[in-house]
Structure 1
């Protein structure tokens, strides 16, 4: 009988076989690396996460900063997202303030201290940017006093009747007009200041800078750029914003936003046979830009810009909420028939009066065909730039948004009566008035065919061919019409509520 061997008393230990390669690959794809999506986002974009300061910070103003390690809290308010633009208020939690010595490579005016900020989970410093503040809110007006603004300015004050003088007499830094700066002020004047108003903001452009371009300092590269037209009471020019500064122009409102620029970079004009350019300004390393500064010079410039807009604007929207057009045109109260001379005397005697009336006028000029050839039958303004087309809708080249247009008031020339005249483009027409001028009042139509035609709006004019437009122009030329108008000092122009033939 064969006895069992000793190997039968011991069994080989088996280890689990490793998973197949396909299975391991499947597992590695379904499992993460131990970090949640919120933790990854907080690391990549630290300024978007909520942050609580470690320790107690003291609330101080900038002029109270002292160099050395300490815990200082500046402008402690709420927190918002992280988009850096000129004129945006920030909250800084700082743990160290360093002295900004004269030995620094780039010397920025008025800067005497440096606050290092490292927004991370373990850091004791952080910065938050505050956006979406209304221009008339109390938060927006914080920290708007210009740097180096003297107390003498408050005593002098800005006048709406005359231009205020410079309010920086106690230091070498002073305020200069734009014309004086372009002419000779840019030549060796230290820390010069110019106060300008934004006229328009152009579309974003991608340009390739040359190797000798001193404005961008990055020759041969494709860079984003936007042209901002600026002006004051003496002159106007173009302000170029490059790369990270382009975002600042998004919130600037034409003819309203005021900029106080210290040490702008100047690019002289080029005049030769091959090329001719206008003078241009840009923002350099030593430049400072203060948006909507709060002092009398800025208030005066803003009032001047509003007055200039009323005089030069190609489009003023019809103020529909001031008068009741239906009551003014067909109400029970008899409307007074004015002459232009009577109307002028009435407004001068009581400038703040709000009233309606009627004018019987003769149309001496019609420019439908001229504006049609210029592609400007309809017009509006967007981004501070006139937008025109021969149809009631068009796309703005700057913001790429579709806008609704109205008829160009300059298609109607001079209107006269026996006492005076109204210049071309000075009337503000309502949509109802335009429709009644071209198609008449629907309620006055006789048969059904006339009613159907009269129900069409003025937009039908934009669909007519050249012969039909010429026929309309000839029909209006030297016609006598009765206009129901409204006057308000808030608008400052006669507004046409309706037209009667």
Structure 2
């Protein structure tokens, strides 16, 4: 017997659709099971994102929490944590399946034991909101002393649980990005307020780590190294010990510099750290003194340490300004500032003023915020193209706070494995002088147009069989097997030259008189070259 109407199975087709879920995971789900994509996606998200409080919770500061049962809600930033890793053979004091967190605001700190938390969410400096139903003063299952933290809250996120933790997604410039950044025991309203136990890095490495209770140091990140795998040299028989991952973060203050080691679960926290800008206030760090294996002292984060990211107080602001000035001074490459000047007017306009180096120095000192353009007539006193070409440092940039060199316009960063575009190394041009002063090597910021006009003038490429010639008046430079991809004349043609071509360009530039069309940017405080006239 054939039914005239289609069966119910025809309405339940096994079509599949990829649904957006938690970042890093995609789940295949039947598209005709009676649920919408929004409902399925909400069900697949972690409980920490979909949990809604039932009942009323009192908003409190961490320093006002009292032991005992109470429905409370507080907001703070993660200053330390230890993530539980399923299947890890390492010994740990954590109960099975629990993550250990230390959260602080401006009033105090508290320890958390949490379950159901995605390891990807655990990062130092992350803003979180916690709902709890009971505050304990002591727990025998995890008796760890943490500075400023004497209470502990247990969090078990589930739809029926009265406790949960929410990880905020902070946007740059938002109100959430400024919350809970005041250090403990510091009064922002008092200009003379001091942080107890704060010392310089040099003092801490020399004697501050011996016998001082809860020492604190403020550091600036200078570079973030690549991941390294540390394998144990000696393994007990019949015992499997997993390899450990580690990165080395170079840090400094006005007195000293050293290496801060981050292990395993702390590594993702360094992804957002910006060299020369990110400030770390570290309480009770671990110090490994210098020995035969490590000639310099090293820092690390222990279970009793606290790390505050970009705290807001006077010493942090001063260190950040000092770091920015040091970065500008020691940087191997400063990007050319765009959209500050009208390049066409500066190059061809009737009001282009001719300056000397003394005139620029005087004007910049009198009006440091003034932006202007002009012309300079200078003599090239030295050229080091061949020297940096032999060092494989013809082109350069900075990535992850580390200089990146190559003899080609592109190179891969060994830290983040990203392909980076390089610029010509400004140190290939030596001192430039006029009758009133001199510019030291590497102190000018060159645009791509200026580099091309300096090296090859305004000529054009001429195809000539397997080789290419660049013609500019009496100058002819031959580049064997160059690949220009139809891009026209560019400074990148220098990277295709052999040693003879490099020396030819260098000889033509040595002791030449050139006119630089420059711009003065107040925020960089260095002359920026817009173009070159021969």
User: Could you state the TM-score of these two structures normalised by the residue count of structure 2?
Assistant: 0.77
Q: 2:371 aligns with which of 346, 354, 360?
A: 354
How far has the Cα of 1:186 moved from its partner?
Answer: 0.6
Residue 250 of structure 1, CA deviation: 0.6
Note the C-alpha offset of 1:437.
Answer: 0.5
In the alignment, the residues of structure 2 paired with residue 105 and residue 269 of structure 1 have an alpha-carbon distance, to the nearest angstrom, of 31
Give 1:483's match in structure 2, choosing from 485, 501, 516: 516
Give how far 1:41 is off: 9.3
Corresponding position: 1:119 with 2:161: no
Unaligned runs of 5+ in 2: 1-28, 78-116, 463-468, 478-486
User: Aligned residues, how many?
Assistant: 441
Indicate which of 148, 169, 173 corresponds to 1:131. 169
Q: Is the 8 A contact 1:73 1:92 kept in 2?
A: yes
Match of 1:148 among 155, 174, 185: 185
CA distance in structure 1 between the aligned counterparts of 2:471 and 2:429, rounded to whole angstroms: 24
CA contact (8 A) 2:228 2:246 kept: yes
Sort the Cα spacing of 1:45 and 1:211 in 2 relative to 1 into closer, same or farther, 3 A.
Answer: farther
Query: What pairs up with 1:62-141 in 2 under 5 angstroms?
Result: 62-75=62-75, 83-100=121-138, 105-134=143-172, 136-141=173-178
CA contact (8 A) 1:356 1:486 kept: yes
Deviation at 1:260, TM superposition (A): 0.5
SS of the counterpart of 1:471?
Answer: helix
Counterpart pick for 1:207 among 230, 235, 255: 230
| Match status 1:247 vs 2:285 | no
Query: What CA distance in whole angstroms lies between the structure 2 residues aligned with 1:106 and 1:440?
Result: 69
Evaluate the alpha carbon distance shift between residue 266 and residue 42 of structure 1 in structure 2; reply closer, same or farther with a 3 A threshold: farther
Deviates most, 178-187 or 59-68: 59-68
- Alpha carbons of structure 1 residues 424 and 202: separation in structure 2 relative to 1, 3 Å: same
- Are the equivalent residues in 2 in contact too, given 1:264–1:283 (CA < 8 A)? yes
2:453 to 427, 436, 440: 436
CA contact (8 A) 2:48 2:164 kept: no
Cα pair distance change 1:42/1:285, threshold 3 Å? farther
Q: Post-superposition shift, 1:278?
A: 1.5
Aligned to 1:25: none
Secondary structure in 2 aligned to 1:154?
Answer: coil
Structural mapping, 1:245-284, within 5 Å: 245-271=266-292, 275-284=293-302
**What residue number does 2:405 align with?**
388
Q: Choose which of 319, 328, 332 in structure 2 pairs with 1:314.
A: 332
The offset of 1:99, in angstroms, is: 0.8
Bigger Rg, which one: 1
Paired with 1:41 and 1:56, the residues of 2 have a C-alpha distance of 28
Structure 1 distance, partners of 2:283, 2:66, is 25
Q: Distance in 2 between matches of 1:62 and 1:411?
A: 56
Given that 2:248 and 2:261 are in contact with CA atoms closer than 8 Å, whether structure 1 keeps it comes out as yes
Q: Does 1:288 align with 2:311?
A: no
> Where does the alignment leave 5 or more consecutive residues of structure 1 unmatched?
1-29, 158-166, 213-217
Q: Given the alignment, which residue of 230, 234, 240 partners 2:255? A: 234
**Which whole-Å CA distance do the structure 2 matches of 1:286 and 1:420 have between them?**
56
1:167-220 per-position Cα deviation (integer Å, ceiling 9, x unaligned) = 13xxxx4101000000111111110000001111111111114569xxxxx995
SS for the counterpart of 1:356 is strand
Q: TM-score, normalised by structure 1?
A: 0.81
Could you say if the C-alpha distance between residues 103 and 276 of structure 1 is closer, same or farther in structure 2, counting changes exceeding 3 Å? closer
1:412-467 per-position Cα deviation (integer Å, ceiling 9, x unaligned): 00011112110000000000000001111249x9xx98489994100000011111
What SS does the corresponding residue of 1:140 show, helix, strand or coil? helix
Q: CA deviation at 1:114?
A: 0.6
1:26 aligned partner: none
Which has a greater percent of helix? 1
1:75-119 alpha-carbon deviations (Å, 9 max, x no partner) = 399xx9861101011011111111137996321110021110011
Contact 2:230 2:245 in 1 (8 A): yes
Aligned-residue offset at 1:484: 0.7
Q: How many angstroms apart in 1 are the aligned matches of 2:523 and 2:281?
A: 29
Partner in structure 1 of residue 25 of structure 2:
none
More strand by share: 2
Deviation, structure 1 residue 74: 1.6
Q: 1:403 maps to what in 2? A: 420
| Residues in 2 aligned to 1:239 and 1:83: alpha-carbon distance in whole angstroms | 22
Once residues 288 and 41 of structure 1 are traced to their aligned partners in structure 2, the CA distance between those partners, rounded to angstroms, is 36
**Post-superposition offset of 1:368:** 0.6
* Superposed structure 1 runs of 4+ greater than 6 Å apart: 36-45, 101-104, 451-454
Distance 1:192 1:473, change over 3 A: same
Q: Superposition RMSD on alpha carbons, in Å?
A: 3.1
Match of 1:371 in 2: 388
Would the aligned equivalents of 1:415 and 1:421 in 2 still touch at CA under 8 Å?
yes
Partner Cα distance (1:53, 1:449) in 2: 72
Distance in 1 separating the partners of 2:204 and 2:495: 47
